[in-house]
Amino acid sequence: MRLSLIRSATSAVSRGKFARLTSSDLSFFEKTIGNEYVKTKEIDNYTMDWTRQMKGGSECVLLPSSTEQTSAIIKYCADKKIAVVVQGGNTGLVGGATPIHDEIILSTSRIKNHFHLEPSSGVLTLDSGFILADADNRLAEHGFMMPLDLGAKGSCQIGGCVAAGAGGIRLLKYGSLHSHLLGCTMVDGKGSILNLGGTLRKDNTSLHAAHLAIGSEGQLGVVTRVTMGVVPRPTSILSAMLAVSSYSHCLRLLSLARSKLGEILSSFELIDGDTMKCVERNLPLKNIFEGSHNFYVLVETHGSNADHDIEKLNGFVEEALGNELAEDGVAANSENERAHIWRLREESPLAAAKDGYIYKFDVSLPLEHFYRLTEETREKLKGRARVYCYGHLGDGNSHLNVTTDGEDEELKKTLSPFVYNWVVSHGGSISAEHGIGQLKRDYRSLGKSAAEGDLIRALKGVFDPHGILCPYKMIPSTQ
């Protein structure tokens, strides 16, 4: 993958007035969590993000195994004014968990002891270091499922999912993490242990402050434990792909899917024609249809009765073809066919990454503007760059990708401001699910009011009065 150098697109950030790490600090950490969990060598996998484009100058990684150890570390750092960046599975896409200067890295990877499912209520409490796929596999034994699913599931951690406000491919049916989070344990920037919310589906005895953890990017505290509702594992999962001639037909298909598939509709994904050609060109993967089409829509259902679900899906596909909303349609008849359909969608990012220098976007837009951004970007960059669009149409989340053969200095400077201003002026969000981190910090105030800015800085000040947690990112320092 040849990502254009991200740092060069982001303004330089000067180091805050934090203390420099000393050997007596390291001694304290070693005494607190054990020598082997204070790493100072071979730490590139922590100091660099996983795309290996962002790198901080940290000299130390701490791997506590509990809330209490985390609290002791943060208390010490608050006292000494040592900056800390919190890292889960290091799968983020905006450098939120990657240090910028010499922040010490606190990894939650070893905080994974407690895992308790209450089967009668479907309430799960687990430590933040559990990997999403591992947690889901354990739930499968009891007929439950993690409501969220995303490409990074094999590496991302639950705490990181909460801190990132992870969305994913079945938000359409199951909702965001706000739908599921019941409580969490956070160690705030003073080292205090906050037990917020609880294990109950209904509890109106306090502010619902646990929800502030969602999307907080480690800037309010270290999430060490999460309690959430999990969902019954569907006994029937069906997938289909439709070939579509126009974006307006895609929207009408979405509406038809809502009415015909109702409560079992779990994904409604879009791949545009150029992206599909890019997949075929750059990957050993064939389109499932003969000939090319302008758009492809992937529909998935999750249900509890296969006969009913098949009847609903067939009814949807038949009406889509009968009304000529779709030009062609394929329902997956085997797990292999289902995997093939999903690979076309899930490997679209990979195909784009192999296509040249890449500029990646993750935006939300009102559906009437969703595809116009792609069209206008394509028009603007005609002959200069290739433009791909794929994403979660059902949620209004477009992953726009632009690729060029060689580096294009002007594009590096102008593309993000163009896209982000277009998005905000059309009522969209410049970050649907990836967050702000360091990659989008220059644009964090775009479209936001001064009053909101004051509010989030004040909230940051409550949780982290010394500003030591994940500095230089989404929320400006209060120091």
**Contacts to its own copies from residues 215-274, by CB under 8 A:** 215-216, 220, 232, 234-235, 251, 254-255, 258-264
- Taking CB under 8 A as the criterion, the residue among 97, 152, 164, 341 binding its own copies is 164
Nearer to its own copies, 241 or 250 (CB): 250
- Amino acid, single-letter form, for residue 110: R
Q: How far is the CB of 429 from its own copies (least distance, A)?
A: 4
Q: What is the DSSP letter of 159?
A: H
Q: In the window 396-435, what residues touch its own copies (CB under 8 A)?
A: 396-397, 427-435
In a 3-state reduction of DSSP, which class is residue 126?
Answer: strand
Q: How many residues bind its own copies (CB under 8 A)?
A: 94
- Taking CB under 8 A as the criterion, the residue among 6, 124, 132, 196 binding its own copies is 196
Q: How far is the CB of 363 from its own copies (least distance, A)?
A: 9
Q: In the window 294-313, what residues touch its own copies (CB under 8 A)?
A: 302-305, 308, 311-312
- Taking CB under 8 A as the criterion, the residue among 73, 212, 298, 326 binding its own copies is 212
Q: What is the DSSP letter of 210?
A: G
Phi, psi angles (nearest 5°) of residue 216:
-85, -5
**Residue span binding its own copies (CB under 8 A) among the ranges 37-45, 53-61, 114-122, 275-283:** 114-122
* Measured CA distances, 316 to 29, 304, 319 (Å): 59, 18, 5
User: What is the DSSP track for 363-400?
Assistant: EE--TTTTTHHHHHHHHHTTTT-EEEEEEEGGGTEEEE
Q: In the window 343-372, what residues touch its own copies (CB under 8 A)?
A: 364-368
Q: How far is the CB of 450 from its own copies (least distance, A)?
A: 9
Nearer to its own copies, 16 or 453 (CB): 453
Question: What are 41's two structure tokens?
Answer: 């060598």
How far apart, in whole angstroms, are the C-alpha atoms of residue 16 and residue 12?
12
**Residue span binding its own copies (CB under 8 A) among the ranges 54-62, 172-180, 290-298, 379-387:** 172-180
Residue with tokens 């085997």: 334
Q: Is residue 142 close enough to count as binding its own copies by CB under 8 A?
A: no
Q: Is residue 207 close enough to count as binding its own copies by CB under 8 A?
A: yes
Nearer to its own copies, 35 or 259 (CB): 259
Nearer to its own copies, 69 or 397 (CB): 397
Q: Is residue 195 close enough to count as binding its own copies by CB under 8 A?
A: yes
- Taking CB under 8 A as the criterion, the residue among 121, 292, 323, 425 binding its own copies is 121
What sign for the dihedral angle of Cα 49, 163, 413, 275? positive
Question: What are 192's two structure tokens?
Answer: 């205090």
Nearer to its own copies, 5 or 455 (CB): 455
Closest CA relative to residue 406, chosen from 349, 353, 358:
358
- Taking CB under 8 A as the criterion, the residue among 145, 214, 222, 243 binding its own copies is 214
b vs e for 60-74, b when ≥16 Cβ sit within 10 Å of the residue's Cβ? bbbbbbbbebbbbbb
Strands annotated E in 245-380:
265-272, 295-303, 328-331, 357-360, 363-364
- Taking CB under 8 A as the criterion, the residue among 193, 237, 283, 321 binding its own copies is 193
**Residue span binding its own copies (CB under 8 A) among the ranges 113-121, 332-340, 401-409, 410-418:** 113-121
Neighbour tally for 356: CB within 10 Å = 19
- Amino acid, single-letter form, for residue 165: G
Q: How far is the CB of 226 from its own copies (least distance, A)?
A: 14
- Amino acid, single-letter form, for residue 321: L
Q: How far is the CB of 274 from its own copies (least distance, A)?
A: 23
Nearer to its own copies, 9 or 310 (CB): 310
Q: Which helix (H) or strand (E) holds 164?
A: helix 158-164
* Measured CA distances, 388 to 50, 252, 273, 399 (Å): 23, 22, 8, 8
Residues in contact with its own copies, shown as a per-residue x/- string from 437 to 466 under the rule CB under 8 A: ---x---x---xx-xx-xxx-xx-xxx---
Q: Which helix (H) or strand (E) holds 181?
A: strand 181-188
Q: How far is the CB of 190 from its own copies (least distance, A)?
A: 9
In a 3-state reduction of DSSP, which class is residue 429?
Answer: strand
**Residue 189 · residue 76 · CB < 8 Å:** no
Nearer to its own copies, 12 or 451 (CB): 451
